[in-house]
Amino acid sequence: MTRAVMPGSFDPVTYGHLDVIERASDLFEDLIIAVVENPAKCCLFSLQERVGFLVGTVNHLANVRVDTFSGLLVAYMQSARVRVIVRGLRVATDFEYELQMALMNHELFAEVETVFLPSSHRYSFLSSSLVKEVALHGGSVTAFVPGQVEEVLKRKISAERG
């Protein structure tokens, strides 16, 4: 297993994501962070912003690159010649959802394997949704996201408030 993909919306990327990315980069020779473009899912940040945040925060990892995809993850994996999916798990409910996705992906592309990495305990509560919620209500997200994400998040929230 030399190449893996870690898919997600990363809206926005958090220190929890980065923890899993860094640990996965130690396990695989090549790790692709695949940012999904899903028009049905309303994201606060544009695809370009999410990619930019990730590129800026993983540039210290020589074996990690950021890419985008739309549609089925397994179709992307086939075109990129990747067989391993990396998914982070925070709590038990994550496992139920992620197991369902892993089984479906395996049905769609029999060569796919999913590797689950539990989050570090200090990030087990952290999600992009919670970060946006805290920021929306004026709380500090400094401990949860890289500085460049925090700055843009504050600007977006200020702009929405008018």
Please identify every residue annotated as catalytic. Answer: 17, 41, 90, 128
Is the four-CA dihedral 25, 129, 125, 97 of positive or negative sign? negative
Residues 134, 5 contacting (CB under 8 angstroms): no
CB count, 10 Å around CB of 146? 17
Assigned token pair, 76: 């992307």
Assigned token pair, 29: 């020779």
Strand order across the beta sheet in which 84-89 lies: 64-69, 30-36, 3-8, 84-89, 113-118
Q: Report residue 68: phi and psi, to 5°.
A: -125, 160
- Number of helices and strands (H, E) in the chain? 6, 5
Q: Which residue has the tokens 């395996």?
A: 106
- Residues facing 67 on adjacent strands: 34
